[in-house]
Structure 1
């Protein structure tokens, strides 16, 4: 009997390989300021597809990944969606900025394809700009602000803040949410500097850091991503700000610490939706297998970008299996209010806004000496606080207030 089962599984696998593949499209930054995150996205997606095809594929057909470079530009991301549609992709996912996800998501909607946003943290993605064909796996700015606000109110109460903010949808929504969560809305007391969202020059970073140094702030919040963040953190360290201010980076990532170096990032506090340590914390066997597979393939630990891409592909494929369909409307019905456990504790695709509701973690970058003792020298984060998704995510009332007249997804 075991031999028969093995042969049947083998024949099913061969039949799936011979069937026409189901194509899905990854919009990812192969170049530009977020290219390191793009590498993670693609690696996570490929691991998911390998696992799905090994387990018997989807509707008897293997998955195939199509990938196009978005360079984190909205217009390029939109054009890529058109190319994916022409190539027969059944869904699109990815993105490294909120503007990119919003633009690409709207284009996918017009073409009848689902779009899953990654690394797109602005509240608008699933808030004011949300629609039925867009789902976001990554957390929102609001969710990051809630876990950070609670941690800071407990451990650094009544401090003076200074904000350096990327002048885009994510930066503005993150600033607003964190000011509210920390009680630092008074801009006269808690100062700020804005960095242009495009074509920022070195002098923009220098002026921003000098203004922070001249302030009386105890906490420096650097609301930047990618290379913008790297420039600013290095300048802050060179001026010695880390020794007299607690530096906060609301959305930390493995790739940022990797590029800047643990000495530069040591002691920085931020948030992550996932780190390679989370599966052990949450007793997730699937998450631990994912970490092991990623390490085996790449000789390094996976970051949250890889986990997000992996989770999206697995969840989309699961919805296809459960609905027995590739039709977008059928998949929306299968995803909405679907609860699952994959790489951590329980998660849910919330129906009213299509936000993935999941636990969020406040993390702190470890001392360099501790990091260097790790075999891969990438054990960057200590998890210092945890908040459930239900606590962190905006309520229906909060969401409807942001939406205005559009009180349901269209």
Structure 2
């Protein structure tokens, strides 16, 4: 009688054991094709590295993580459809995005389905401002934060200049233009002109016309508020027209992939901002940040960029919140994240409670000369950090946020 009883007990335990090791799915919606595919590749690599490290350390709540990826092509509708696919597969946390409109749309659908959403490359103030909501967190900095560090650097080192703005006519483009005009005291559009590039369907003639207007404006500073392939085309055209020799080019949100794709000769001397570069861990004395850099180089034989760092940080921080709270329940995880301070890839950061913005140090950077870049071991050491601003100084205050929100003064 004892042997059949033992077999029965083992059979009863097997389903429990299988359930205990069932993976926890998380969803990455990111551009594998289209204007931002280079940034999408970085997001995926950073996320995979975080998942591998967490799983090698025992997973989350004793269960491994499983990364589900879907191509958004940086389109709002596709990103929303990806969120729906994730929900059908039991995902409670999704992240990604390469534009602010995409992040807002995906975040809204995630909220409707009871899913947390973490925005990565989404810089418009609206993401955590007018469109902010309880189930949406943003790891990347806002346009306001980029403008603050750039404005301070430019006011100190290049005062009393005339600006010309070429901006993408979308939520982020308008947000960044407005914030940078305020930070640089260039609000007068009669003296500081602009051209708007259509958010969809822009043609070569649109970029060329905007640059020709900039050249005719006699401005000292050319601000290009574009991303991805749009930025690459415009920068190359600007170089061909000789504008980089007579104007200081400003790209508010720079990235490793842009310099690599456009070429260091074209990008040399361009000033912009980054929330993170591979040099930051050394500057901020961050052992975990340096370990991330070393692991990324070992896997991909190139330096990680800010997109990889953002995706990596999101997975690590969400997993940490779940582990600390002992629950996958989203309300419990939100409570664990709000006002949580931590150090991971740089100095101290915080998930702010009132708007779910990640408050962190922001850096003004300048693209090195081609000769400097090719002398580096991997020929990808693109940026000099020329200025920094603490997150508390860079981020909008509670009063600023409430002014933007109007009557809706809490996240719903």
> What residue number does 1:271 align with?
273
> What residue number does 2:147 align with?
145
Aligned residues of 1:163 and 1:223 also touching (Cα < 8 A): yes
2:336 corresponds to which of 331, 334, 338 = 334
> What residue number does 2:350 align with?
348
CA RMSD of aligned residues (A): 1.0
> What residue number does 1:110 align with?
112
Distance 1:17 1:233, change over 3 A: farther
CA distance in 1, matches of 2:113, 2:232: 37
- Give matches, 1:143-222, under 5 Å: 143-222=145-224
> What residue number does 1:119 align with?
121
Offset from partner CA, 1:195-243 (integer Å, 9 cap, x none):
0000100000000010001111000000000011011101110111111
2:226 corresponds to which of 207, 224, 227 = 224
> What residue number does 1:9 align with?
none
CA distance in 2, matches of 1:317, 1:216: 52
Deviation at 1:17, TM superposition (A): 11
1:82 corresponds to which of 77, 81, 84 = 84
Offset from partner CA, 1:226-285 (integer Å, 9 cap, x none):
011011101110111111110000000000001001000000000000000000000000
Aligned residues of 2:342 and 2:349 also touching (Cα < 8 A): yes
Deviation at 1:375, TM superposition (A): 1.3
> What residue number does 1:254 align with?
256
Count of residue pairs the alignment pairs up: 396
CA distance in 2, matches of 1:355, 1:389: 10
Distance 1:262 1:41, change over 3 A: same
1:133 aligns with 2:135: yes
Aligned residues of 2:92 and 2:114 also touching (Cα < 8 A): no
CA distance in 2, matches of 1:16, 1:59: 15
CA distance in 2, matches of 1:16, 1:109: 30
> What residue number does 1:390 align with?
392
1:403 corresponds to which of 385, 405, 408 = 405
Aligned residues of 2:280 and 2:346 also touching (Cα < 8 A): yes
> What residue number does 1:324 align with?
326
Aligned residues of 1:16 and 1:56 also touching (Cα < 8 A): no
> What residue number does 1:245 align with?
247
Structure 2 segments unaligned to the other structure (5+ residues): 1-16
Deviation at 1:56, TM superposition (A): 1.1
TM-score, normalization by structure 1: 0.96
Structure 1 segments unaligned to the other structure (5+ residues): 1-14
TM-score, normalization by structure 2: 0.95
CA distance in 2, matches of 1:71, 1:38: 9
- Aligned-partner SS, 2:281: helix
CA distance in 1, matches of 2:366, 2:103: 28
- Aligned-partner SS, 1:105: helix
CA distance in 2, matches of 1:18, 1:184: 59
> What residue number does 2:9 align with?
none
CA distance in 2, matches of 1:124, 1:396: 14
- Over alpha carbons, which structure has the higher Rg? 2
> What residue number does 1:71 align with?
73
CA distance in 1, matches of 2:342, 2:272: 26
Deviation at 1:18, TM superposition (A): 7.2
Deviation at 1:383, TM superposition (A): 0.1
- Give matches, 1:357-376, under 5 Å: 357-376=359-378
CA distance in 2, matches of 1:50, 1:257: 28
